[in-house]
Amino acid sequence: MSDEDSMSWASLKASLAPVFPRLVELEPGGAMAMDLGHDGWLLELTPDGKLLCQYGMALDDVMTLLSDGTPEDLGTDEIAKQAKYYIQPAVAKYRAILLQSGFSEQTEMNDDYVAARFERNVDMTNSMAVQDLMRWCVRTIGVVR
């Protein structure tokens, strides 16, 4: 990250803190995130200028749901496919409006979780536009508190 990007990120974080008090830094200098209510959606803002709305499921939780079967016999890929199946109803509820609003959809998978991630680039030098987009996400997906 260049010095200019670093300064933009620091300025943006400072402007968001009073507006979104539940927004927390995940690690020093890293992304900031907050829950979008009780449904499990997460809003994340990254230092490289991406706003993410994501919904996911831990693979351990999928294994618990499958515990009456034999999930220990399933490979990670099979468990990840089941996780994608479980998250689809929640994702389908907001997919169209997020895509119409300029977000692109990706699936993120690793050994711990599977997530549907809706991503949109933001101008970190325009804190009001970022705040407006974040408010829209909170109103559209989250629960305003």
Write the pLDDT tens digit of every residue in 79-114.
777 888 888 988 999 999 999 999 999 998 888 888
Q: Is the pLDDT of residue 145 over 50?
A: no
pTM, full prediction: 0.84
Which pLDDT score is estimated for 81?
79
Helices (H) and strands (E) in the chain, counts: 4, 6
Gyration radius of the chain over CA positions: 17
Question: pLDDT digit string (tens) for 20-32?
Answer: 999 999 888 899 9
Which pLDDT score is estimated for 136?
95
Q: Is the pLDDT of residue 69 over 60?
A: no
| Mean predicted lDDT score pLDDT of the chain | 87
Which pLDDT score is estimated for 78?
78
Listed range (9-18, 59-68, 111-120) with the worst mean pLDDT: 59-68
Alpha carbon distance 31, 36 (integer Å):
16
Q: How many CA atoms lie within 13 A of 117 on its CB side?
A: 15
Domain 3-140, classified CATH 3.40.50, yes or no = no
